[in-house]
Chains A and B, each alone.
Chain A
Amino acid sequence: MQVFLQTFIGGMSLGAIYALVALGFSLVFRTMGLVNFSHGNVVMIGAYLASTFYLSTKLPFALAMALAIGGTGLIGVIIERVLRPLENKDFDLMLIGTIGFGIVLEAVAIIIWGATGNAVPNPVPTGPLEVLGLRIRTYDLVVLAIATAAAVLLVFFLQSTKRGAAMQAVAMDHEAATAVGIHVGRSNAIAFMLGAGLAALAGGLVGPLLYVNPTMGGALGIKGFAAAILGGFGSIPGAIVGGFAIGVLDAFTAGHFQGYSELVTFLVFTVVIMIRPTGIFGERTVNRA
């Protein structure tokens, strides 16, 4: 039981990261129907930006993070603008276009920061807490708190601001949204910017947990994407639940299967998604004839 709970808690902090990555995926997908396969690479760029500002310019961690979010937000806007001609037309081509961006981002990261990675020291250097015999790292709590705050802010933005409502409208029917005077392109750009910002947040937070390197985007992106699909693609609560599910699954497979954890995680994911392609909170899609 003790071990079970310890593993569970261990999975929660990475789960929160996956949830943030999944939120970015889902936000962009629900608004513009685009699956951003470069999202993982944006996370990686965010991690590099945050760690660079934090380490080399000795800025406070929070400020470094804010700068990183701004930087990736700009990248998001650029990706959206370039791929805009394909929006609502060819799904598969758009997907491949984002893969192209991912390839470029990874190469750019290698050019700027080199092929080897760097470790980021823990910005909250206090010892772990002992609760009921369980060891909880304080940084994990910080990650959970920031992720929760980000999710709450996002939901507030979507539900209670005019801009957010406009994005919801675009998500439901982009033609009808145009008809009532919403600038769909701008709305999509904001969605993409927010998605990239969430990616940077995830990247910045994951820096001290993992090793920051140019290929970290692959695994993070794919697991975040898996989380989004598991929860129900396009659903905000789904992204959060899916993120934690993948994080905890990851922790357990790492405990039981060591090196083979990734194999088991993806097999479980494939089986679950075969049984329920729409995910936990997803809408059942209906054939349109």
Chain B
Amino acid sequence: MKLRVAGIGVLAVLAWLLPYQLDSYLIHVANVVILFAILAIGLGLVMGIAGQINLAQIALFGVASYATAILTTRAGFGFWTAAALAMLIVAAIGLLIGTPALRMQSHYLGIVTLGLALALTNWVTNAHIAGGAEGITGIPAPTLPGIDLRNDYFFYYLELIVFALALAFGLFVVRTPLGRKMRAMRDDSLAAGAVGVEVPQLRMTAFFLASIYGGVAGVLYAGLIRYVAPETFSIANMFLLLAMVIIGGRQSLVGCVVGAVALSLLREVLVDYPTYAQVAYGTIVVLTVVFAPTGLAGLPVRARGLLQRLGWLRRDTGAPPKLGDFRPYDEVERPAEQVILRIDDVSMHFRGLKALQEVTMEITSGEIRGVVGPNGSGKTTLFNVVSGLYRPTSGRVWLGERDLTAARPHTLARAGVARTFQNLRLFPLLTVRENLLVALDQTSVLGSWRYALWQPGVWRHDRALRRQADELLDRFGLTAFADAAPGELPYGTQRRVEIARAMARHPRLLLLDEPAAGLNGEEVRQLSEIVRSIRSTGVTVVLIEHNMGLVMSLCERVTVFASGRVIADGTPAEVARAPQVVEAYLGDSAMSEDVPVATATEATR
């Protein structure tokens, strides 16, 4: 930690003294490099942290510089007034460009943002007000009392301060609840929704942040160069910026800055051979994605791994951390019985496949309900409908008195529904502690205005969340794994992390999808202890399970599914004797024709 502070201090002093070593050409280069660094932080936030492909970052940069240019030269505003208005405009355009992210992701989002960027370029090259292909000259220099910003040396210090603030703010976002939610959404947007992250609002927030960074860089660009032209927007520049972020390491903001500086310098060295520079950075991009996807920022970790493999660096060979015991919750008095979940005549069809047909069931508060049935009988589909991943074809889902049919997953999570997934959906690039922290945070994305106006509040909130996370880690015996990546943990431990994450939201209804799959005998025993303790706090538990021993010993009532229908419902002993259940499990000639069809379709889904 001390080393890091000292390092930052040295870098800051060097950056402050840099202008004394540079001639008037190089200081100009340095000023442009800083602008690219600010842009790269913005692109890193939206793409590397939030996972939204944004090929319009340069366009946002252009919007801001054009807005500043038009407002100062055509409308006669002063520079700073124009800059403030330009920020509003760029934020609005950023939200507009981000809107498609609500409906599509990945390559679709890439092409749409690229198309919109081209549309903007097309507009400025044609619009009279934007000066057409010639652009706009004669933008007045920004003024500050006592400082002549027409001087590139003074402008450098202005940029340096803005850059330091921009980087600090970016890092602050990444390490506090907002950034954690973004990283969770990037890793697994479905699971993020299921733990209450408002995915749509968060995607818009990511684009908003990117547009603020683009806007700041754009305004500074207008003030520095005092001339804008359509080339500012060009796709070639967009790809250059993208290369900076990828080469630097998109998931690390510092990496993005390093990439921006490195590529800018490379371009400067090859300034007389721009095409060869282009070949060079294109090739480095290809090599980076294939051989070092984490970019320059990931090199220290990779180098460490290599040294350990070669035996030059000792691995820490302490005893492997052990999974602690679960510390039961304090029991509370069982609440009065009422129907907490009512599934009313729900059907779910995928084209021809009828995954659920007219399913009706009621679950009483405080019970442990088992849901069993052959593979492909619709159990997981039922969970997906209840947790909001699917919108049922017909029928309604009531949570208590609220009709929550087709509500968004995060709405359901906030209403008190938590779930685990059959195939484990932990956020792979977050630590175990961060996985829990994402779920623990109950604040809304709309509360993110605090980031702009009241950072200490955010900080205090984060500290409180971390205390709760420690408590939760301790309760589930996971303290030893707090800083590990989920993928490194044994399977049974991962299952427990997922239950802890679901419990982090203090749900009223907990849906467990095959929690015992892949667990050994001892782990199954611990699981049943955990589930009982969870129920003793008044939480209603529904579990899908194939382990009949567990179901019979744990559940008070069992609902049996076959081919998308409820075929039996009652106490474990009752359903075990029901002839239709025996038929569904052991089969007769009529049933065995149905089951394989359903199985095959589930496997491909």
* Residues of A bordering B, CB below 8 Å: 35, 37, 82-83, 85-86, 90-97, 99-104, 106-108, 110-111, 173, 218-219, 222, 225-226, 229, 233, 258-263, 266-267, 269-270, 273-274, 277, 286-289
Q: Contact check, B115 vs A226: say whether CB atoms are below 8 A apart.
A: yes
By a CB distance below 8 angstroms, the chain A residues around B289 are: 83, 86, 93-94, 96-97, 100
For the residues of B in contact with A, the DSSP-based class is helix
Q: Contact check, A100 vs B278: say whether CB atoms are below 8 A apart.
A: no
B324 part of interface (Cβ distance < 8 Å)? no
Q: Contact check, B53 vs A95: say whether CB atoms are below 8 A apart.
A: yes
**Chain B residue nearest to A84 in the complex (CB):** B290
B282 part of interface (Cβ distance < 8 Å)? yes
**Chain B residue nearest to A276 in the complex (CB):** B103
Given A35-B107, A266-B116: 8 more A-B contacts, CB < 8 Å: A82-B290, A111-B275, A111-B276, A260-B123, A277-B103, A286-B605, A289-B383, A289-B389
Given contacts A85-B290, A100-B283, A287-B384, contact A95 B110 (CB under 8 A): yes
Q: Contact check, B190 vs A92: say whether CB atoms are below 8 A apart.
A: no
B350 part of interface (Cβ distance < 8 Å)? yes
A260 vs B122: C-alpha distance when bound (angstroms):
6
Q: Contact check, B285 vs A289: say whether CB atoms are below 8 A apart.
A: no
B167 part of interface (Cβ distance < 8 Å)? no
* Residues of B bordering A, CB below 8 Å: 51, 53, 99-100, 103-104, 106-108, 110-112, 114-116, 118-120, 122-123, 125-126, 190, 235, 239, 242-243, 246, 275-276, 278-279, 281-286, 288-290, 293, 350, 380, 383-384, 389-390, 421-422, 425, 604-605
**Chain B residue nearest to A258 in the complex (CB):** B126
Q: Contact check, A222 vs B190: say whether CB atoms are below 8 A apart.
A: no
Given contacts A37-B110, A287-B384, contact A270 B275 (CB under 8 A): no
Q: Contact check, B282 vs A107: say whether CB atoms are below 8 A apart.
A: yes
Output the least CB separation between B119 and chain A (Å).
Answer: 4
Q: Contact check, A277 vs B108: say whether CB atoms are below 8 A apart.
A: yes
Given contacts A94-B289, A108-B279, A274-B103, contact A263 B111 (CB under 8 A): no
**Chain A residue nearest to B235 in the complex (CB):** A218
Q: Contact check, B246 vs A229: say whether CB atoms are below 8 A apart.
A: no
Given contacts A82-B286, A289-B421, contact A92 B106 (CB under 8 A): yes
By a CB distance below 8 angstroms, the chain B residues around A219 are: 118
Given contacts A101-B282, A259-B126, contact A222 B118 (CB under 8 A): yes
Given contacts A99-B242, A100-B283, A107-B279, contact A277 B104 (CB under 8 A): yes
By a CB distance below 8 angstroms, the chain B residues around A100 are: 243, 246, 282-286, 288-289
A107 vs B274: C-alpha distance when bound (angstroms):
9
Q: Contact check, B103 vs A173: say whether CB atoms are below 8 A apart.
A: no
Given contacts A86-B290, A222-B111, A289-B380, contact A91 B285 (CB under 8 A): no
Q: Contact check, B106 vs A95: say whether CB atoms are below 8 A apart.
A: yes
Q: Contact check, A107 vs B243: say whether CB atoms are below 8 A apart.
A: no
Q: Contact check, A262 vs B282: say whether CB atoms are below 8 A apart.
A: no
A261 vs B421: C-alpha distance when bound (angstroms):
48
Q: Contact check, A270 vs B290: say whether CB atoms are below 8 A apart.
A: no
**Chain A residue nearest to B123 in the complex (CB):** A263
Q: Contact check, B286 vs A104: say whether CB atoms are below 8 A apart.
A: yes
By a CB distance below 8 angstroms, the chain A residues around B284 are: 100
Output the least CB separation between B422 and chain A (Å).
Answer: 8
Q: Contact check, B119 vs A266: say whether CB atoms are below 8 A apart.
A: yes
Instruction: From the candidates B53, B103, B279, B425, name the one contacting A104 in the complex (CB within 8 A).
Output: B279
Q: Contact check, B278 vs A107: say whether CB atoms are below 8 A apart.
A: yes
Instruction: From the candidates A83, A110, A266, name the one contacting B118 in the complex (CB within 8 A).
Output: A266
By a CB distance below 8 angstroms, the chain B residues around A173 are: 604
Given contacts A270-B116, A287-B384, contact A226 B111 (CB under 8 A): yes
By a CB distance below 8 angstroms, the chain A residues around B350 are: 286
Q: Contact check, B100 vs A270: say whether CB atoms are below 8 A apart.
A: yes
By a CB distance below 8 angstroms, the chain B residues around A107 are: 275-276, 278-279, 282
A219 vs B121: C-alpha distance when bound (angstroms):
12
By a CB distance below 8 angstroms, the chain A residues around B421 are: 289
By a CB distance below 8 angstroms, the chain A residues around B125 are: 259
Q: Contact check, B100 vs A96: say whether CB atoms are below 8 A apart.
A: no
Q: Contact check, A104 vs B110: say whether CB atoms are below 8 A apart.
A: no
By a CB distance below 8 angstroms, the chain B residues around A259 are: 122, 125-126
By a CB distance below 8 angstroms, the chain B residues around A93 are: 289, 293
Q: Contact check, A96 vs B242: say whether CB atoms are below 8 A apart.
A: yes
Instruction: From the candidates B106, B282, B422, name the one contacting A91 in the complex (CB within 8 A).
Output: B106
